[in-house]
Amino acid sequence: MLGETLRFAQNDTVEKPFNGVTYNLNYMKELEGKGAIVTGGSVGIGAAIALDLARNGAHVAINYRKHADEANKIVEEIKKLGRKGLAVQADVAKSADAEQMVQSALKEFGHLDILVNNAGINQDSVVWKMTEDQWDNVMAINLKGCFNYIHAVAQLFKNQNSGKIINITSINGLRGKFGQSNYSASKAGIIGLTKSVARELGKFSVNVNAVAPGLIETDMVVNAPEEVKQKALAEIVLGRIGKPDEVAWVVSFLASDKARHITGEVIKVDGGQYI
Ligand code: NAP
C-alpha cells in the first residue's frame, strides 16, 4: 500500500501524506457528486440516511408509500445542502416501480452509485395467530422489496464496474424474536441475499453489505407496547435506545471508499443489544 494515493471522492484534494499513503481528510466530500437511492426515505432511519448521504456530498432520491409531505421536506433539506434531491411515490414491493425509480434517479443525477434498501414494515403476531396477509405483506416489502431494487441496479453497477449496495436488516434477523417470525424471516432473508449478491457482484467492484440495527427511536417502535420497549431497553448494553443518525453514519461509511474492502458483511448498530 505504500505510495498509494487513496481517492475518496471525485474532486478530492490531497491534504496530508502520512506513512506513504495520502489521505483526504475532508469527510464532507467523501460522497461528492455520487448518486444515491434510499428506499423508504420519508421518515425514520431512511430519512436520516438520506440526509447524511447528502451531508457527505451525494445527490439523493428517496421513495415512500404514504408520507408525501415528509418525503418532500427531506428533499427540501437535501437541496438546502446544495445537492440534488428527488422524492418518488413508489411501492418497493412492485418491481415495475423499482425499475422506474432507478430510471428517474439516473435521469436526474446522470449516474447512480449507491443503493440503500431501507424500506420496511412489521406486522407482528405469534405464529399460530399470524395471517397469510401478515406473512405476505412483510415478505413482499422487506425481502422482495430489497430484491427488486438490487435487480434494478445490478446490470448498471456491473457495467460501470462500481457501486455500493447497503441493505438494512435487523438484529432480529440474526437472533429471531418472539412475535416476529415474519419480520425476522424477512430480515434473515436479507442477510442471505446480501451475502449471495456480494459474491455475484464482487468481481465487478460492487460492495454489498447489510446493517443490522437494534432498537432505534422511530415511528416503528414508538407504537410498540411499553412493556416490549422496556424489555428491549434492558438488553441494550449501552443503556439507551439508538438514534436514526447512528445507523445513518454507518451507512455513509459503507457507501464511501473507506469501506471498499468490506463486502458481504453484516454490521450491527445496536448498542450491544445482541452480543
Ligand atoms: P419507519 O419509521 O416505519 O419508516 C419506514 C419507511 O419505509 C418509511 O419511509 C415508509 O414510507 C417506507 N415504506 C414502508 N413500506 C413501503 C413500501 N411498500 N414502499 C416504499 N416505502 C415504504 O421505520 P424505521 O424504524 O425507520 O425502519 C427503517 C428500516 O430499519 C426498516 O427496514 C426496519 O425494518 C429497519 N429496522 C428498524 C429498527 C427500529 O428499531 N426502528 C430496528 C431494526 C431494523 P411511508 O411511511 O411514506 O410509506
pLDDT surpassing 60 at residue 1 = no
pLDDT surpassing 50 at residue 171 = yes
Query: What does the pLDDT average to over 82-95?
Result: 98
Are 46 and 24 in the same domain? no
Which domain does 239 fall in, by range?
Answer: 34-269
Task: Please write the tens of the pLDDT for every residue from 91-102.
Answer: 999 999 999 999
**The domain spanning residue 181 has which CATH number?**
3.40.50.720
- Only one residue has cell 440495527, namely 213
pTM of the model: 0.92
Is 183 an active-site residue?
yes
Number of domains in the chain: 2
Are 66 and 141 in the same domain? yes
Are 111 and 40 in the same domain? yes
- Closest Cα to atom 2, ligand 1: which residue? 44
User: What is the best residue among 118, 171, 246 to mutate for testing ligand 1's pocket, by most ligand atoms within 8 Å of CB?
Assistant: 118
**How far apart are alpha carbons 25 and 222 in whole angstroms?**
38
Task: Please write the tens of the pLDDT for every residue from 139-160.
Answer: 999 999 999 999 999 999 999 9
Are 4 and 75 in the same domain? no
Are 178 and 97 in the same domain? yes
DSSP per-residue codes, 107-166: HHHS---EEEE-------B-TTT--HHHHHHHIIIIIIHHHHHHHHHHHHHHHHT-EEEE
Are 14 and 97 in the same domain? no
Are 189 and 219 in the same domain? yes
**Does the residue 141 lie in any domain?**
yes
